[in-house]
Amino acid sequence: MNGTSTSILYSGVTFLVQTQDAGPRIRQLETLIYKRGSLVYTRRTSYSDLLEDPNRDDRLKRLIRDQHQAVLDDIAAGRLDIPLLKS
């Protein structure tokens, strides 16, 4: 399973953001946001259209990177509809 994780500080609160490939059987990228060990947000993206792609591995790596960065950007801009600022 490929993936990446990043800790990000937003308004004094640290969040752990993990993005991973759930595998070819599930065919989804999954980004999870944790606040103090509790899951507060999930973003899933299907990649069924890539199963027969000869460049699947490279494209999946890019998709993981891009989805992970998009969630980090959304946190930094305060765009996610989750209780980010509540302690």
pTM: 0.87
Strand ranges (E), the chain: 3-10, 13-21, 28-35, 38-46
Residue-wise pLDDT for 14-49, tens only, equals 999 999 998 878 999 999 999 999 999 999 999 998
Q: How far apart are CA 57 and CA 43, in angstroms?
A: 20
**pLDDT at position 56:** 85
The number of C-alpha atoms within 13 Å of 55 and in the hemisphere containing its C-beta is: 4
